[in-house]
Structures are given as structure tokens and as C-alpha cells.
Chain A
């Protein structure tokens, strides 16, 4: 029973759901399903709905409405709205008929003139909205009224001519009723238009600018986008696309009735909103507009075929619009909250009681005062030295919260200089054979700094897990690294589900979200060595160079992964059930290893780790500052050997000057201490250590 529960928590469907909600293609899933559902419903209800002829007829009738929806999508994506699309469409329909069939202009000239007319109408809208700073809704509504009134006037004036027109050339007829590979010509134009505009909006600069302005006008302006011109262009495009739809409609219908295009702007708006294009602008795709249009079209045309009155159809469109907008508003507002509630999925972790850390208990972990009098280096000159390292000339390097590598010069470490500025949140440090400083950067990957201070990228991606929904090829949270004798870089990625700032959430999950990754500089390849590791943190190549030691923070384990020798490729737990949460591991002068405890286990938190449901409730129901978190207000460092035996510990009781210790480095008889949130680097003299030992020699030999 217990193991079943454990398996349930390990492979919870909630994991899948949380990662599913994160996917961008999930956003249009509702309109997509709805499209399919409506189609299937009518296929069942209406006889002969699925015959080729019926489908062709549907596509033929749909195409222009789809185009008008695309036109509407342009304005909505730019952060506005264009209600004049229906009227411009109708007027273009008339103009095409008039210019081509009544006046007798050549078809290309007609085409150009009509599209130009649409563009001019769009320019009026765009000019008023962008340069006159009027409101899009009212402005385009008034343009709708004016154009519509003008349309009604001219259609009445030309009733007789329009009634007696004869369809012109075969090209015109082909535009109206031709097919390519069984697809009606106008549908083909819609497909090409949709693909073209999609590329325009996502790949081409002016199009991307439209999306940018729609997302945030202010940000776009700050980024140097000419907001007014972009807005203007969006309405011009919208008008031109409506005009194109009008021409195709003219070729198909060869008539211009009083109800042509009436209410199309409402249908297009409903389509756009139903497709999930946010009315706040900048969110959505052309494909969604077309999907929404397809739903509206199938509903209206299907209801006509079912004999439902037009009034009910109007009511249904109105209600759909209300529901869709309401849902859209609420979803955009609350999506983050939903995701957060669903995303965190704690697992079941069983702990044995840890060895005692009581003062005088006789265990190697017993509390003492050995770090209490640590000398403070760089006091208040550094923020969050997660890792520290010393070079061959004794200079001290450390990472800073603001994304830079800081160097303190030997011998007294009072001169501070910014060695390199990379960005992100730098964490683990290591030197390679050529004295390049390699650094793991949360949110970016692994980078390097040459001795001449130039920065280069080592790697920022690895192999993707094919069985996972989430794309984990990018490095999320590279934490610590070390370099093997053959030059290969082994580094840990602590979590593929959380950013660094959310490390506590990963802790609540206690799940194998992390990875051990190997980068080979010789071939330039990066591959994942071990996955599903629970917060792999510190990484250290053993003294013999045959294995990688890695620390699992939440499981309080030290593990060994063999990279050479008879057991190469296998993995084993070296130390289990440590009393603290392990962080970085580094070599010590006597053939052993230093391990920093970032925090200490407490019975309460151990109990909580055994109860996933409790942790889920905690995350969902109480504010973050009241969450039960691992105790990190301690300062403790331990030393262990290759057999997994802990031999001694050094304490700063109460963590007065060195809480949350994340890294310790030994260098020439001194121990240097860094912490994730500290304002200093500590240094203590080690009585029995080799005063000439330095890590660089240990890794790469003397000289």
C-alpha cells in the first residue's frame, strides 16, 4: 500500500498537467477542440455533411469570412480593434464589381485599385488612432457607419447595372468558382494569406513590431519601435485584407446586396475572441483567428441548415461572445495562479533519524566553535558568494549576486575588482588545465572566463528528454561543476522545473528534477549523464580522478558516479542520511573532501517530507512567508573520506557570521567559506593541514 502511494506521488498525473499547462500550444487547445467538436456535431446532425461537394461548398462560403477574421486579428493583435472590416469588405465587393464589370477596367488594375481602397480606409482608421490618438473602438465604429452608408447609397444607385452584369473573363470565373486540387480558389487564397501573415507576424520585423506594440506599448516604445507607424500599418493591413476578401466575394457572387457584409465585423470579433486571441493585444496567432472563424461559420451555417431562425443565431453569437470574452479576461488574469497551484507536486521522502549533532554527543557531527572566530574577508564588499576559488597566485575569486565574478587580490584581499561580468546568477566555480575560470550560471548555462578576462560560452543546452512534455534541452539551473583529468566538464543541474529563486519549491517536491551533465570541450558536445536526481548540487572529481562525487541536497546524500576504472558508468550512494542539506564538495589537502551544509535537518521538516499531501496543502493554502522551510540558519562544514566516513565537522553555532554555507575551499592551510546569502567570505586557519597544498596542483600537477 505504502509503495503504491509512493509510486503515485512519484509519477503523479499532476506533474504532467502542470507541465502541460506551461506549454504555449496549450493556449489554443480549447478553440481547437471546439472546432473539431462543432464539426463532428454537425457531421452527425446534418445528412451528407461529409460529402466532398458539401465540404467544398463549406470551404467556398467560409473563405471570405476567414479573411475578414484575419483582418480583425491584425488590429486586435496590435492592441486595438477594427470594426470597419465588414463595411470595407462590402464596399470592396461593390468596387470590384463596378470597376471590372461595369466600367470594364482590366482585372489587375481593378485588383490594385480595390486593395488600395481598403488600404486607404485602413489608413484613415490608423491615422486617426495612431496619430490622432482616438479610441480604436469608436473610431472604427464611425468609419463603419460612414462606409456602410456610402455603400448603401451606391448599391441603390447602381441597382440596375448590377442586376444585368455578365461575368467577365475566365480568370474572373476561376476566382469565383475555380478549384485547385479540389480546394476552392478562395479557400486557397485564405490558406496562403494565413500562412503568409503568420510568418509576417512572427518572423518579419514590421510584423513582430505589431505584436510588440500589442503586448506592451510602453516596452515597444522603449525598445525603439515607432509605435505610431506600427499601429498605422496594422490598420492599413487590416483594411487591405478586408478588401481582398471583398474582391473574392465579388468574383464568387457577382452581386452586391444590401445585406452584404452586415454584421461581419461582429462575427469576426467573436471569431477572434473565441480563437483565444487576447483583447489586450499581442497574444494570439492567425491560426487561432481562422479557427475561431471556422467555429462561428460552422455554427451559423449549420444552424441555417438545421432550420434554426436567424434571431436565435444572433442571440447565440452574442452569448458566445460574452462567454468567450469573460473567460478570456478571467483566464489571462488567473492563469499564473492556476499554474502555480497545479505545478508544485511533492513526492514522498522517507528519512531515518539522522546522527546527533548535539554538542558533546561524540559523533563527528557534534557542534563545536571552530568557525566562530573565522576572519572576515571582503566584509560588505560582496553579495552572496555562493562559491569561491583561489588561483595559483593566491587571488580569490567569487561570484556576486548581480552576475559578475569578483576578484580579491592577494595577499590581504582588500582590493576588490570586477574580474568579469557575465549576467545571470553565477554559482559554482572551477579552474581547468589552462587556468580558464569555468562558472555555472543559473538561468544561462556554463560559461568560462579566460585569464585575459574574456568571457566565452561553454554550453547552454544538453540532450532533451524525449519522454517529457517539457523541453528540458536548455539549462535551467546549472549549479556546480568540476573538471575531470581528461578535460571533460561535469556539472550538475539542480532542477529542470524551477528557477533558482524557487529553490524552496523544488525542496517541497523532493523529486528527481535534476541532472548530472557532461560537456566534452574536445568535441563540443554536451550530454546528460544521469537524470532524475534530487537536487544535485556540489560536484567534485575524486582525488584519483576515477569518479564524480555529487551531493543530493534534499535527500542528504553523497553519491559517487564512476567515470573510469572497472566500475565506470555505475553509480552508488557513498554517504546516506547526513544530518544536513549538502551543498558544494571540494577536495581537502589530506586526500579527503570538504562538504558544506547549507542547512540542517529538523524532525519537523523530516516529518513533512514524509507527507506529500501536507506539503501540497501548505503550498496552496498559506502565503509563502509562512511556509515550513528547511532550516538554513546554521553554519556547518564537514569532512569525509573516499570510504564515505565523516571524520570531523566545523561549526559556527547559530550561524552568526556564516549561515547557509554553500562552499568551502582549502588553500595553503586556510579554509575559505562562502554562503548563498552572505555579505562576507570567511577564513579559518587549519592547524593540521598541509600549508603548501593548493587545489590547482592537486588537479593539474605542480609547476
Chain B
């Protein structure tokens, strides 16, 4: 898909292996779980994974560029909360959404600036910036954890609904985003630069790629795509719960990205990997929900799966520990 994927075996096998695992899981769940293989559940599954998938698409852009953005959830939570407040106070919906969008992009650019120009480790930077963004938004604009969208925005809420007798619009948005991100990564110059940047940042810089602006673009895109996911989330629930930023969604996102084969060493994977990872995690989460596991147990299971994924990733794509930087 990315031009070079045919030449390198492991990537392709990882994506297909994940898809195969996913299929196996679906078969197992269909046999052993009552109510898994129903149209209603499958639509519910689609609804649930679409947000995760959109977020993972954004994260993939950063991870392919050898970064990681832990502030993605905080940034979309904060900016959609602001957008909701603006909508409630009478701004036209597109204007309010646009202002939130600009805010998300600004946070992404700030992350990229700190990482590329100040040269701070990405993980720490985004961890700290998510704290800072949430704290500032909570003290200045949002009084409570939960921000409700007031009545009278039915047009907007339709985004969270269904069409054609039950197909959730959110999965369509996911599909559209996936196509756009795929075209961006594989057909545009900047997209190819992102791969070059992640594959070997030093070589990219010495070849003359503008790695600093590139880093800022990557993080801004991640935040922007994350914001789309946040908007879909608001459309589905008519509220934004700021505690989402303190939940483990961000790890679900990383898990999706890493499991699918977008390696943390950068430069590997593509949109197909993200879709495969999303399906696997979506099915897993859905199955666990049907099994009536509580959130904590789900977290434990997810954590163990993620640990295995990281371990496998470092086996399949070893990095040079002796030169690797702190914060990886």
C-alpha cells in the first residue's frame, strides 16, 4: 500500500495476522457469546469502533513519523468542550466547531514545536501538555467535568445517528477519514516525507527534509483527526465528559496502532494496519462488554494485550537501545 510494503514481509503478515486473529475471535464470540452475531450488536460495534478508529488514524500519522501523542484525548476533550460551550451560547454550529478545530490544531502545533524545536522527548511533552491543557481549560472555561450540549442542535446530533436502516454515520465518517488519510500518506509529498521522517529522522534531516515543520504538521494532524473523533463522540452522546482524558482511551488508541503493525520505531505500517487493529480491539472490547466484565477487568485484559503487543513489536522491529533517546 505504501509502495514499499510489498517488498517487506513482516508488515504485511502482521496486518494479515491481526485480521486473521480478528476473524477467529469473531467466530469464537459468535459461537460462545449470545447476542454477539446480531445485526444490532454489529452496528453497536461499528459505532463504538469508529471513534477509536478515527483517533487511531490520527495517532498513526504521528507514530509513523516516530512520535507519540499522549495528549490527543485531552486536546480533543478540551477543544470539543469549548465548541459545545460556544454552541450553547448561540454561536452558529459550523463557527463553533471551527473554533474548536483551530484550538485542537494549535495544541498539536505547540506539541510539535516543543518536540522539534526545543527537542523535548515526545512522550513527556505530550503527557505534560495534556495536563496543562486540561488544567487551563478547566480553570478558565469549563466549570464541571461534564459539558452538556443544550437542546436545539438536532442537525448536528444527526451526525451521531444512523442512516439506511441502522448503519451508523460514525462508521461512514471513519471510512471517509481512512480514505483521506490513506491518500495523504501514500499519494502526497508530505505524506511520503512523514514516512521518511519516521524511518530515519537524521537521514531525513540531512537529505534536506524540513523535519521541524514536518513534526509540527504531524502533531497538528493528529490533533485535528482526533478532534473529528471528538466531534463524533459529542454527536453520539450530546455531551463531553472531560474525564475521558483521564480514562484509558489513549491506551486503546496506542494499542490499536501498535497491534495493527504501525510500529513505534516509525516509518512502518499504513491505514490498513490501523483498520485491522481497530477491528481486533473493537471485537475484543465488544466481546468483553457482552461478557459483562467490569471496566477494571477490561482494563487489566487490555493492559496485558497491550504489553504483549509492545513486546512483539520490539521483537519484530528492534530498535537500537544504545542510541535510543529517553522517553521512548
Contacts and interface: CB of A to CB of B under 8 A. Distances in A.
A137 B310 contact: no
Given A217-B321, A313-B135, A138 B129 contact: no
B127 A279 contact: no
Given A315-B139, A333-B119, A149 B124 contact: no
A251 B79 CA distance: 43
A314 B134 contact: yes
A145 B303 contact: yes
Given A217-B322, A313-B135, A329 B119 contact: yes
Contacts of A312: 135, 139
A279 B121 contact: yes
Given A150-B296, A318-B129, A329-B118, A132 B314 contact: yes
Of B135, B136, B251, B328, the most chain A CB neighbours within 10 A belong to: B135
Of A136, A138, A273, A322, the most chain B CB neighbours within 10 A belong to: A138
B299 interface: yes
B326 A279 contact: yes
A390 B322 CA distance: 50
A312 B135 CA distance: 6
B310 A153 contact: no
Nearest to A280: B326
Contact of A142 (B119, B128, B136, B310): B310
What DSSP secondary structure best describes chain A's contact surface? helix
B254 interface: yes
A142 B134 contact: no
A243 to B, nearest CB: 20
A314 B131 contact: yes
B311 interface: yes
B300 interface: yes
B27 interface: no
A317 B114 CA distance: 17
B104 to A, nearest CB: 17
What DSSP secondary structure best describes chain B's contact surface? helix
Contacts of A280: 325-326
Nearest to A221: B322
A150 B310 contact: no
Contacts, number: 140
Given A149-B296, A149-B303, A318 B135 contact: yes
Contacts of B327: 81, 137, 279
Interface string A129-160: 00011111111011101101110110010000
A309 interface: yes
Contacts of B254: 138
B116 to A, nearest CB: 12
A319 interface: yes
Interface in A139-186: 139, 141-143, 145-146, 148-150, 152-153, 156
Nearest to A154: B296
Contact of B131 (A79, A139, A315, A329): A315
Interface in A512-527: none
Interface in A532-563: none
Interface in A287-340: 309, 311-319, 321-322, 325-326, 329-330, 333
Given A145-B299, A149-B297, A318-B134, 5 more contacts: A142-B303, A153-B297, A273-B124, A280-B326, A326-B120
27 contacts: A80-B326, A81-B326, A132-B314, A133-B319, A133-B321, A135-B328, A137-B328, A138-B310, A142-B310, A149-B296, A149-B297, A149-B299, A150-B296, A153-B294, A153-B300, A156-B296, A217-B322, A281-B326, A309-B138, A311-B138, A315-B135, A316-B135, A319-B132, A321-B131, A322-B114, A322-B128, A330-B119
Interface of B: 114, 118-121, 123-125, 127-136, 138-139, 248, 251, 254, 264, 294-297, 299-300, 302-304, 306-307, 310-311, 314-315, 318-319, 321-322, 325-328
In order of increasing CB-CB distance, the 8 nearest A-B pairs are: A315-B135, A318-B131, A318-B132, A149-B299, A311-B138, A146-B303, A314-B135, A321-B128
